[in-house]
Amino acid sequence: MKKEITWDEMLQKTFLKQIEIEKESILNYNSDVKRFSNHSIKHDEVNIILIYGITDSECFNHIYRMAIYPQTSTEPVYRNGGVIDSEYYNLQNVKDMAKAYFTHWNSKLK
């Protein structure tokens, strides 16, 4: 008989899937990633994802993905990414950039 999954287990599985989606995005951009640095957290009703893929390149060796996901979805409500030289962003930056993004689009809808 198959064990039923609890709500908390389902939320944890979804969180891990969200992280995997962002890692796959990094690998699709550059398959030479040697390791990942994951700073993602669960926060209230959303998950804040910040992941760096690190390469051996001399410049622009950190590929980052940041995203805000609802707890129960594998579709982000905010996503950003790019290439930089170091782990420049933190989780507060992700929140601030998402807020600025939503404020911008909210003003366009009025």
pTM: 0.91
Taking the C-alpha atoms of residue 94 and residue 48, their distance in angstroms, rounded to an integer, is 7
Residues ≥6 apart with Cβ < 8 Å to 85: 59, 60, 61, 62
* Residue 93 binned pLDDT confidence (cut-offs 50, 70, 90): very high
Amino acid at 47: N
Taking the C-alpha atoms of residue 27 and residue 47, their distance in angstroms, rounded to an integer, is 21
* Residue 108 binned pLDDT confidence (cut-offs 50, 70, 90): confident
| Encoded tokens for 9 | 């287990």
